[in-house]
Amino acid sequence: MAHISAFRALRYDPDRVSLSQVATQPYDKITSQMREGYYTSSPYNLVRIILGKPEPTDHEKENVYTRAAGFFGDWRRQGVFLQDSQPSIYTYLERFTAPGSKTELERRGFIALGRLEDYSAGVVHRHEQTLAKPKADRLDLLRHTRAHFGQIFMLYSDPASEIEGLLTAGAKPDMEMRDEYDVLHQVWKVSDPNLIDLVSGKMRDKKLIIADGHHRYETALNYRNERRAAAASSNPGGVPRQHSAENALVGQREVEIALYELAMMTFVNMDSSGLVILPTHRVVHGLASFSSDALREGARAYFSVEEVDPSLDAPRANAILREAGNTGTALLGITANRAFLFDRPKGDGANIFGSLSLRQQSLDVVQLHKCLLEGVLALSEESIRNQENISYIRDAGEAIEKVRNGAANVAFLMNSARMWQVRDIAFANEVLPQKSTDFYPKLLSGLTIYALE
């Protein structure tokens, strides 16, 4: 069962700072250029904590993690962060226009604490692979700060939208800002214990899928396990539960739960019309022996290959993919002076998928990785995981430009995965290659903060 709890969030004091100057995109979406902009926007910008700049003189006792802990402690003492007086959950609304669209959409969810569950428990399901290096980085940050600054993006199913109906947005929001992508973010604090209890009860039978934040979720699990082990070591007779009335409310009663057993999450209905998944395109670079002819001939073992107008731009590329994708897999490969449409997969190439299920084989991203990246270009799974010859780019125009200006060998463009495909993969306990989905827009970091002490 999914266990959610209200909590007394730490939030930026609006009398001290403007939210638009201190909140950030999630750490893994912050480029070096964005970080510079965040640094200059405010001395209290959250980037100093979640993705601080390394210094040449850094060492074991002075580094990005110790500085993050220092900033966090100082800002709490100075009143930059204030703690809400009542345990609450937080309705979170985003209004946006997806890239390439002119239609304004609305996505609603709510921020609360969720109990950390091992995947084997069948409550929380992942859908993407994770990498060791980002998890080690986030674990060091969590160890030093003992706080969660961004929300893990969780999906639940509610076709009747009952929970969304309970958390309808009121009048003036408690927090509001527009981000650098012109997304409007609004947050309302919900402190009514009866309403919190009703939402908690309706969430109790839900299965959850991690939409975004796989690395942070698994980091929180690892940190929980460390704290459990430390508690057991210090008290061999039994693991004590830290009593926290302010951080756990279920069934209108206080429960005892260790604070590290919970993480901050935003829960969004996967059946909502405002849920948007964008593709993340692959750009391959640094292949000394790359040949457009070899790509075309090699791909014919797996797909029907059609050469298309090499001067196509991003809108035309997206139109070709949408049309071809109506009947199944469709991929575009764009080189410096040529472009190919790969579609209608051939059954005789099925042996390259090994033990992957038919669910996974039907996804464009899996077809791309197995058939073209591994099968034709001979990139190993390990080199792809380590991003040795591959980069991930959301914008099709940017991917095309990298090829045409000589910075890459080939750009592979694709359609996005569908929500039902992600759902079926996750509930089958299968995982996709990293960056197989891009849920848009992102959840801002710094709206609410969950401090473990």
The answer to whether position 201 is within a domain reads yes
- 312 plus 258 within the same structural domain: no
Question: What is the domain count for the chain?
Answer: 2
Place of tokens 């408690």: 174
Mean pLDDT rounded to a whole number for the chain:
93
The answer to whether position 421 is within a domain reads no
- 250 plus 325 within the same structural domain: no
The answer to whether position 182 is within a domain reads yes
Q: Does position 154 have pLDDT exceeding 70, yes or no?
A: yes
**What pLDDT digit, counting tens, does each position of 9-33 carry?**
999 999 999 999 999 999 999 999 9
- 84 plus 230 within the same structural domain: yes
**What pLDDT digit, counting tens, does each position of 394-446 carry?**
999 999 999 999 999 999 999 999 999 999 999 999 999 888 999 999 999 99
pTM recorded for the entire structure:
0.92
**What pLDDT digit, counting tens, does each position of 270-299 carry?**
999 999 999 999 999 999 999 999 999 999
For residues 105 and 97, what is the distance between their CA atoms, to the nearest angstrom? 6
What is residue 168's predicted lDDT score, i.e. its pLDDT? 81
- 133 plus 232 within the same structural domain: yes
- 285 plus 321 within the same structural domain: yes
- For a pLDDT cut of 70, what percent of the chain falls above it? 95
CA distances from 120 to 153, 232, 429 (A): 19, 22, 9
**Residue 369 DSSP one-character state:** I
What is residue 404's predicted lDDT score, i.e. its pLDDT? 96
- 302 plus 259 within the same structural domain: no
The answer to whether position 367 is within a domain reads yes
93's enclosing H/E stretch is strand 89-97
- 346 plus 216 within the same structural domain: no
**What pLDDT digit, counting tens, does each position of 199-210 carry?**
999 999 999 999
Contact residues for 373 (Cβ-Cβ < 8 A; gap 6+): 282, 284, 379, 384, 390, 412
- 44 plus 188 within the same structural domain: yes
The answer to whether position 423 is within a domain reads no
- 120 plus 215 within the same structural domain: yes
- 151 plus 10 within the same structural domain: yes
The Cα diameter of the chain in Å comes to: 72
The answer to whether position 230 is within a domain reads yes
The answer to whether position 204 is within a domain reads yes
Range of the domain at 55: 4-276+440-451
- 142 plus 215 within the same structural domain: yes
Structure tokens at 366: 């899996």
The answer to whether position 183 is within a domain reads yes
- 244 plus 305 within the same structural domain: no
